[in-house]
């Protein structure tokens, strides 16, 4: 997928499903496998705060649990604006735990899109967000 607009839209759409009554910060993610499938995720909070999970890990764990293990890109968007907002979102980047979880399956070359609207995103590599990441190769 050269143009990531479809992936950006999938992340924006997934954000509408976010369950974030405590932080009121709603996050959506969409991960693209190398065979062209898109898996989406949102953050799912919990009254016992530590039991919540971020959108990025929801997406990658959904994908792996359905048989995909190689990925090209992930799109992420977040903000405390209304879930249906069509205005531009603030730039949101994956937390440290999610960077590590993604590194397991994407490595340095995974493209990370920090999406603000379906036409605006910042494109990075996971290796830039997580330098000298610890991954499967370290245990080989």
Of the candidates 112, 69, 84, 87, the one whose C-alpha atom is nearest the C-alpha of residue 26 is 84
How near is the Cβ of 76 to ligand THU at its closest, in Å?
6
Quick one: 110 or 140, whose CB is closer to ligand THU? Answer: 110
> In the complex, what is the shortest distance from the CB of residue 89 to ligand THU, in angstroms, rounded to a whole number?
12
Compute CA 125 distance to the chain's CA centroid, rounded to the nearest angstrom. 13
58 or 67, CB closer to ligand THU? 58
Least separation, in Å, of the C-beta of 37 and ligand THU? 21
Smaller CB distance to ligand THU: residue 20 or 130? Answer: 20
Residues found near ligand THU in the complex (CB under 6 A): 20, 23, 25, 27, 43, 45, 52, 54-56, 76, 78, 92, 94-95, 98
Residues in the chain: 140
Query: Is there a contact between 31 and 38 (Cβ–Cβ < 8 Å)?
Result: yes
**What residues act catalytically?**
56
DSSP annotation of 93: -
Distances (CA, A) of 138 to 46, 56, 101, 126, 134: 34, 23, 15, 17, 6
In sequence order, the 6+-apart residues with CB closer than 8 A to the CB of 3 are none
């Amino acid at each position: 997928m050269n143009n990531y607009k479809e992936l950006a839209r999938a992340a924006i759409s997934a954000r509408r499903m976010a369950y974030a009554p405590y932080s009121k910060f709603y996050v959506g993610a969409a991960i693209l496998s190398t065979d062209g499938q898109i898996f989406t995720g949102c953050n799912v909070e919990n009254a016992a705060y530590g039991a919540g999970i971020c959108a990025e890990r929801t997406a990658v764990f959904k994908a792996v649990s359905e048989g995909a293990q190689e990925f090209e890109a992930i799109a992420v968007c977040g903000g405390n604006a209304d879930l249906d907002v069509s205005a531009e979102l603030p730039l949101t980047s994956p937390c440290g735990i999610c960077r590590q979880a993604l590194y397991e399956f994407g490595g340095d070359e995974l493209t990370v899109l920090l999406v603000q609207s379906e036409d605006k995103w910042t494109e990075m590599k996971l290796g830039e967000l997580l330098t000298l990441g610890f991954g499967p190769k370290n245990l080989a």
